[in-house]
Amino acid sequence: MSQKRILKADRAYTATDSDIIEQAAVAMAGDRITYVGPVAGLTPELTADAVVEELPGHTLLPGMLDGHVHLSFTAGPNHDQVVDDISRETDMEQVLRTASNAQKCLRAGLTTVRDLGGRRDVVPTVRDAINAGRLAGPRILSCNVPITVTGGHIHFVGWEANEEWELRRAVRTLIKHGADVIKICASGGNMTAESNPLMVQYSAQQLGVVVEEAHKLDTPVAAHAIPTDSIRNCIEAGIDTIEHCVWLGADGGYDYDEEAMATAVAKDLTVSITLAGVFRGYLADMPLSEDMRAAMGISGPLEEERVAQFRNTWQSGVNLIISSDSGVRYTPFDDYYISLRCAAELIGIPPREVLMMATRNPAKGLGVLHERGTLETGKAADIIAVAGNPLADIKAMADVKLTIVGGKVMFREEMIDAPRTPALGVN
Ligand SMILES: [Zn+2]
């Protein structure tokens, strides 16, 4: 008989229409949720032989999903350092680092992470070990290596493809080798010294070829896109998740395109914003924030225009998800809550919606909503418990006490004595 477990807490945030349940219970048997509702509604059938855990003062939530991480990267103090680290490490060191980083995600309350690029076969090796039960970790969706132009953004781990037939071949080969998602760098990026973040790397037509080829094999496409021209190309091509989406104009100022976003909404596309690496230094009470501000070159308050385009994107009604880009500079794997705080405190999104952008919305955008992203009977038992009430104060998301993946306890606070990643660039 499969293991039965019941969690009881002050409330559950379900990320469904029923939203919040006071004095809640979530029951599971094996890897499935069997009940979500008030404690008073538990039946003898559910409670018989079940391990019952009381969590007074806690909130139960669906396990969170981070749509954009780099599990093999080192979260060092600057881009050059990260590129140097991952270029220098052996494949064996990279696999161990990836496994260790994946486990840090459990501590952050993440039960699914989508890796958008590393050295060939490193992340899929760890994903497969977790799936086979040989290693504890979150569920991983992997692009394996990202597609980029010759010398383009993250070329040091990328598959360089320029012409249409090269793009088709890259997509087919990656899927043949088990990619869960295709990642393409539609524009240059800050991490790659040889690329220009304001420059378009692929036309809408080229991106369309990638979408066509990937969708033939039921595989979604994620595209890195910083400037407005590149975002427009992604929307025209029907890219499933547009990553970063910073709306930078050719002159380096901000250039939000309302009409393009309306098209993205009509096509039911997803925008995946990555805030934590850029904005964490603006959270005044962050530990070490003085050092962090100095390292990040922050002197004054956050300029309104830098957050305005994220606010516009949110208010367009698009399926918006909050991703971390963990692994790049300043962005360790165990503090996804910082991304949530940036969304709530700097963009002004209410906590209830922020939590939706970490659960149901990413499950939809990543194509796994039928299995994950909400607390509902019949779904996979991916559940977290946090101390306090994050609906009242999003800071509570820093206090993840319990992370369950597929009905198995993968993280419990007492399991780790060390503090979180303690300082900038330590990993
Ligand atoms: Zn990235």
* Higher-scoring residue by pLDDT: 19, 395: 395
Does the pLDDT at position 281 exceed 60? yes
Ligand 1 mean position, distance from CA 325 (Å): 5
Lowest mean pLDDT among 17-21, 49-53, 346-350: 17-21
pLDDT at 289 over 80: no
Arithmetic mean of pLDDT, 356-364 = 98
pLDDT at 264 over 50: yes
Could you tell me the pTM of the whole model? 0.96
pLDDT, tens digit, 9 for 90 and up, residues 132-162: 999 999 999 999 999 999 999 999 899 999 9
* Confidence (pLDDT) at 242: 98
CB 164 within 8 A of CB 206: yes
* pLDDT computed for residue 234 by the predictor: 98
| Gap from CA of 278 to ligand 1 centroid (Å) | 13
Lowest mean pLDDT, pick from 287-296, 301-310, 355-364: 287-296
What torsion, rounded to 10 degrees, do the Cα atoms 391, 393, 397, 400 define?
A: -90
Task: Tell me the two tokens of residue 91.
Answer: 């494949």
Range(s) of the chain covered by CATH 3.20.20.140: 65-365
For 247, residues 6+ apart whose C-beta sits below 8 A from its C-beta are: 227, 228, 231, 254, 255, 256, 257, 309, 313
Of 301 and 20, the one with more pLDDT: 20
Does 259 have pLDDT greater than 60?
Answer: yes
User: Options 2.30.40.10, 2.60.40.10, 3.40.50.150, 3.40.50.1970; which CATH number does 4-63+373-414 get?
Assistant: 2.30.40.10
pLDDT in tens, 370-382: 999 999 999 999 9
- Compute the distance from residue 116 Cα to the ligand 1 centre, in Å: 6
Does the pLDDT at position 116 exceed 50? yes
- Cα of 158 vs centre of ligand 1, distance in Å, is 12
Calculate how far, in angstroms, residue 152's C-alpha sits from the geometric centre of ligand 1.
14
Delimiting residues of CATH 2.30.40.10 domain(s) in the chain: 4-63+373-414
State the pLDDT at residue 175: 98
Q: What is the pLDDT of residue 416?
A: 65
**Cα of 396 vs its chain's centroid, Å:** 19
The answer to whether residue 185 scores a pLDDT higher than 90 is yes
Report whether pLDDT(167) > 70. yes
Q: How far apart are CA 137 and CA 127, in angstroms?
A: 9
**Residue 425 pLDDT > 60, yes or no?**
no
The fourth-level CATH superfamily of domain 65-365 is Metal-dependent hydrolases (3.20.20.140)
Closest CA to 210 of 260, 158, 172, 265: 172
For residue 2, pLDDT over 90 is answered with no
Q: How confident is the model at residue 251 (pLDDT cuts 50, 70, 90)?
A: confident
Q: Is the pLDDT of residue 426 over 70?
A: no
Q: Which candidate, 285, 235, 237, places its Cα nearest to that of 261? A: 235
Gap from CA of 13 to ligand 1 centroid (Å): 29
Q: How far is the CA of 214 from the centre of ligand 1 (A)?
A: 20
How confident is the model at residue 17, as a pLDDT?
86
Cα–ligand 1 centroid distance for 345 (angstroms) = 23
Rg of the chain, C-alpha, whole Å? 21
Q: With 60 as the cut, is the pLDDT of residue 1 above it? A: no
Chain-wide mean pLDDT for the chain?
A: 93
HSE value, Cβ hemisphere, 13 Å, CA-based, for 311: 12
Distance 34 CA to ligand 1 centre (A): 36
- Does the pLDDT value for residue 81 go beyond 70? yes
Q: What is the pLDDT of residue 427?
A: 39
Q: What is the mean pLDDT of residues 383-406?
A: 97
